[in-house]
Amino acid sequence: MSGWGSFILAAAAFFLSHTIPVRSSVKPWIVARIGAKGFGLIYSILSLVIFVWLIVAANRAPYVPLWEKAAWMPYVTISIMFVVCLMLSFSIARPNPFSFGGARNESFEPAHPGIVRLTRHPLLVALALWSFAHLLPNGDVAHVILFAAFGIFALLGCKMINQRTRQKMSEAGKDYDALWIATRAGSLLSGCENSASVFLRLLGGLGLYVLLLSLHGPVIGVYVWP
């Protein structure tokens, strides 16, 4: 298949895999057969595989430049990616009733929200930062389409999830706005996160950062350092 054909097919597979399985008419049917954990595991693996396929397909698409790559651009991307890795480390497996991916949401304490105090959707914000950081040094048509689409997808996702969560909380008799106001007044690093937990999350973010730097070339085909 041609470079453009493979890129279009990978893009279609990615966005279909992120819309069809999570639809209210589809997800319950799948969960009833393989369970919530099975759905989460398979969906995560599928998303990762298609994501890597999409990145590789963009690298192999015909190169049509839109702007020249300056020597300083990769360093901006590398710097922003450190922030992205920290956001991911402080977001995963923590209570967050405002967005997807939250764990033990019933134990969420608005007085001690952690990173949720900064944004209701840390995972989506991390995705948006990743997207626009990679857009800068990749000024060709395929990569501009790829990273701009991811960035817009993440930002629109924040808005859609806000509306959906507000409705669900309202149906459950909970005040969405009051909870968010209390969360914004809470503490960033305290309560359920002691110093040891914070250190482990910092270490996890650093480890993820080093891992991405190490695997970027062998897996994606583009080596990080200019």
Q: Of residues 204 and 189, which shows the higher confidence score?
A: 204
26 is written with which tokens? 């589809």
Write the pLDDT tens digit of every residue in 130-154. 999 999 999 999 999 999 989 998 9
> What's the pLDDT score for residue 117?
92
- Portion of the chain with pLDDT greater than 70, in percent: 94
Domain range summary for the chain, segments of one domain joined by +: 1-62, 65-220
- With a cut of 80, say whether residue 3 has pLDDT above it: no
- With a cut of 80, say whether residue 102 has pLDDT above it: no
> What's the pLDDT score for residue 45?
87
- With a cut of 60, say whether residue 190 has pLDDT above it: no
- With a cut of 80, say whether residue 181 has pLDDT above it: yes
One DSSP character per residue, 55-81 reads HHHHHHS---BSSPPPTTHHHHHHHHH
**pLDDT-based confidence at 116, cuts 50/70/90?**
very high
Write the pLDDT tens digit of every residue in 36-72. 778 778 888 888 888 888 888 988 899 999 999 898 9
> What's the pLDDT score for residue 105?
80
Separation between Cα atoms, residue 56 and residue 50, nearest integer Å: 10
